[in-house]
Amino acid sequence: MPRKSLHETTFPKVKKYMSETDKAVTVKDVAQFLGMSSSGANSVLQLMEVFKMVQKVKRGGTYYVLKDVYDDEQIEAMLPPKVVIIPRRRRSSSRPSSPTFDDSFKEEYLSAVRSQPGSGEDLSALTMIGLSQRETAEEVTQTKELLGDLDIDSLGIQIDEKTFGSPIRKEAFATVKYLPKDVRLLNSGDARYLKNQLKSLDGYEDVGDFNTIFAKFSALENGRYGNVLYFSMGTNQWDYVKKITIDQSISDFIVLPNIERKRWSSWNQFLMVHKETRLKYGKEEYDKMIDQFMESGHDLVEMTVENRGTVYVKNVLNKRISERGLKEQVKASHVDEWIYLEKVDVR
């Protein structure tokens, strides 16, 4: 069965969970609900924010609420109460307090920052108010890597794809000889199944011709491929290798084909137990109905057949009557849910 994308599976679950929760949710809340890592849940929420499904609210931490569902007062009520900080008066001391930093150094630093060439005023502003540039860069990079396997066109949203990175990231590696010791060669069936799962993602075209794939043993041990793979043209120790990193939000949903088969087999067995048991009717059963009617001495009888449609039973009875050469003696008909066997008037 084709694998469904995130906006068909995970997004509806998160929206339903948030609508049933009477408070703003955190990344940790969503991670526990979905049973995934915090980084995966963070990716899901950030991508939902990109598609205007949720909005982010800061209140001593990061919270999320459904977008365009609540007004400002309702959102305020869903958030934790504000923490009011009452400034304390500093006690006078006979000892002069030493400054935590050199004022001259601060002025020199800010002056250098303002004079640096940048992409705009925002970067300098971030620096001056003391925000971590590394944290900001990591958040931007993480957002760029969220597209996963979403079908953007089906959502009807115009998005500049240049803003985002590829869900499949490639980098040059050495050769097969220098592969990590904890990787294992995938058999042809597992490799073919993995490539089929990845072929719709951006970045796959550069590795589609590589038929030899190595995966980490720790991932294979848990029935998955993992998010770090090594693609090669062959197993010769001098064959060139590319290291492939798949976005975690995608790789978590790709399991080995034998695990997938077992999962569907278990599900089908579960369904079979709960299906209504249907009685089997063969030719002998329908012939027995006809014979009992012929021997009963009645000209017309009314009956039903459990778990069978009236039209179907009527057609089968008439077929058996015809094959046995009894059309001149008996016929079958139906009205609503009732089936009738009637002796033919030969007068």
According to the model, what pLDDT value does residue 241 have? 92
pLDDT in tens, 225-267: 988 999 998 889 889 899 999 888 888 888 888 776 676 666 6
pLDDT in tens, 155-175: 554 444 443 457 888 888 989
CATH 1.10.10.10 fits 6-82+104-144, yes or no: yes
More confident of the two residues 292 and 59: 292
Question: What are the respective helix, strand and coil percentages of the chain, to the nearest 5?
Answer: 45, 15, 40
Task: Give this prediction's pTM.
Answer: 0.33
Identify whether the C-beta of residue 25 lies closer than 8 Å to the C-beta of residue 63. yes
What's the mean pLDDT in 206-218?
86
Query: Which residues have CB under 8 Å from 206's CB, separation 6+?
Result: 170, 242
Q: Is the per-residue pLDDT at 70 higher than 60? A: yes
Query: What number of other Cβ atoms are within 10 A of residue 248's Cβ?
Result: 16
Q: Among 103-112, 118-127, 234-243, where is mean pLDDT lowest?
A: 118-127
Query: Pairing state of beta strands 212-216 and 240-246?
Result: unpaired
Domain positions in the chain are 6-82+104-144, 168-258, 283-343
According to the model, what pLDDT value does residue 52 have? 84
